[in-house]
Amino acid sequence: MDDWFSVIAAESDLPADAARRLCDIGFVVMPGPVACGGCAPLSEAYDRAVSTADPDDVSIRSSTRVNDFVNRGPEFDGLYIYRPLLAACCQIIGRPFKLSTMHARTLEPGATAQSLHVDVEREADGWPLVGFIVMVDEFRAENGATRFVPGSHLLSHEPGELMKETADSCEGQVLACGPAGSVIIFNGSVWHGHAANRSARRRRSIQGAFIPREARPAVKQAARIRPETLHRIGDLAKYLLDLGPAV
């Protein structure tokens, strides 16, 4: 197909209320792309993929992050082709786009609150950005649900310019809570960061981002794509991964 963006825009739909929330407050929590069988297969696949990941793909900071969940198994193939998510990309990015990254993130018990931040500076390479977070576990106030400052995507300032301590609570912030299997879709310019995990259990998620097609991705999938992944995914996924005609 010569014009994938037009095809995606025509075939993808975002509920009107969700579209309004993305426009007005910068994020929305909605039912996610969990495959038939519910969250248990996704949870099991997550743990298996994290436990077998190459150490070079693992980063431990305020949370444990494992890169490249495009290649971790078929249980994750439906996440980045979820039609409401693609509709949100059409709305926010407004031109051809691609996946920049998709990774696992485990927030360990006792983790402190993350500083409020934006995912990309306004007008920088990779802006506008659409982020998504698939809840492998339920997001609750006590286990580090992501906090957002509604409407902050409309500001020209970043958190550090207006706050003395960006890890502190911000007036008006809200927690994006939801059951396992939900997805948070957000404008990458909205102020956000995970809250403290005050529970005794880890909190797991799969996160990713879409960027304009001409921008430089965090992970160049054409260089990492595995034969088994390439064999099972469809043309839409190949386009979103920007694999190119040679693959």
CATH 2.60.120.620 fits 4-240, yes or no: yes
Q: What pLDDT shows up at residue 62?
A: 76
| Spatial contact of 116 and 170, defined as CB atoms under 8 Å apart | yes
Residue type, 129: L
Sign for the pseudo-dihedral over CA of 182, 82, 191, 59: positive
170: alpha, beta or left? (left if phi > 0; alpha if psi -120 to 50)? beta
Which helix (H) or strand (E) covers residue 167, if one does?
none
Please answer whether residues 231 and 151 qualify as being in contact, where contact means their C-beta atoms are separated by less than 8 angstroms. no
Burial of 172 (0-12, 13-18, 19+ CB in 10 A): exposed
Q: Give the Cα separation of 15 and 18 in Å (integer).
A: 5
**According to the model, what pLDDT value does residue 37 have?**
64
Tell me the C-alpha to C-alpha distance, in Å, between residue 104 and each of 46, 48, 56, 77, 137.
8, 12, 14, 14, 12
Strands 192-194 and 146-148: antiparallel
Eight-state DSSP code of residue 171: T
Q: Can you give the pLDDT at residue 247?
A: 46
H or E, element range at 29 = strand 27-31
**For residues 69 and 76, is the Cβ–Cβ distance under 8 A?**
yes
From first to last of its 247 residues, what are the pLDDT tens digits of the chain? 458 999 999 999 999 999 999 999 999 999 999 865 679 999 999 999 999 999 999 999 879 999 999 999 999 999 999 999 999 999 999 999 999 999 999 999 999 999 999 999 999 999 999 999 999 999 999 999 999 999 999 999 999 999 989 999 999 999 999 999 999 999 999 999 999 999 999 999 999 999 999 999 999 999 999 999 999 999 999 999 999 764 4
Q: Which residues pair with 32 in a beta bridge?
A: none
- Residues 103 and 207: beta-carbon distance below 8 Å: yes
Instruction: Give the per-residue pLDDT at 36.
Output: 59
Closest CA to 134 of 190, 37, 69, 64: 69
